[in-house]
Copies of this chain bind each other. A is one copy, B any other.
């Protein structure tokens, strides 16, 4: 998915304005204050949006901001809501997100999981009643940059037929794992669908076939034709039956631990997808020592790019040249301020 958006960005960014990172973050923060956030939360929320685009995940950063604003407008996102501790069982806590801003709720939840982990070695927050967390990888980076291992996932609206079915009954439930390694952490951010609908659209718009099978066509054959998959509504889970099973158990764990909604209960309209359930686990490997050397040796043995490596390259480029934002999106945000 990230690869697709990377190529999308390479093609499109010739036509996109590049905004200096600090200007982008400040403008978003001003827009968020206009939407009703207090200054401190506006700054953090803006930073999370801007960093996502800075890191090359163009689908879930600033380009997504107009939809986020619309979902405040339609009542799906509560501007003033903050996560609230509901129950505690030792180092495992249940929180309610109050349908607040998804990225702020997720950031606070990982922060809380890390605080527990500093004391107890590991800590977890199960978060009910929250909203789309935008880029899941943000919370893997958040943990890894603080020297922690972070594991988190979210459920989503039903957008993926489980293996053996034709109707979307599971979510693509992104799973994120972050591993500290100084200033070069390893961060994996993967949805349970092989390609997102956004990725399918970008392949179709470029007139390209998918690099591998991405779903079923209208007669139930596996295909690399993005338009055929968009038409059938049958994208493929990663690993066929395996990703289908993993999407299911991630949904079960998040909703059972948080007491929140499961995928089958989440509104299927992306503009009204709210009340999702998430899970955040932090582990503190520091006191055991030696982790960095092990991590470096593994990455060194791999011989190919590790998850997170391209992020650093894109981040450096976008900090140097400015962060590419779609023209009409930037115009809309500037008009909000």
Contact = CB atoms under 8 A, between A and B. Distances in A.
Interface of A: 3, 87-94, 119-124, 149, 162-165, 167, 169-170, 177, 179, 186, 188, 190, 194, 212-213, 222, 238-243, 245-246, 248-249, 251-253, 255-257, 259, 262-264, 281, 283-285, 287-288, 290-291, 294-295, 297-298, 301-307
A123 B242 CA distance: 26
A3 B253 contact: no
B164 A92 contact: no
Contact of A256 (B194, B212, B295): B295
Report the copy number of this chain in the oligomer: 2
A314 to B, nearest CB: 16
A301 B162 CA distance: 11
A124 B90 CA distance: 14
B246 A188 contact: yes
B264 A179 contact: no
Contacts of A283: 92, 124, 253, 257
B307 A248 contact: yes
B245 A190 contact: yes
B165 A303 contact: yes
A122 B119 contact: no
Contacts of A240: 194, 212, 238
B256 A285 contact: yes
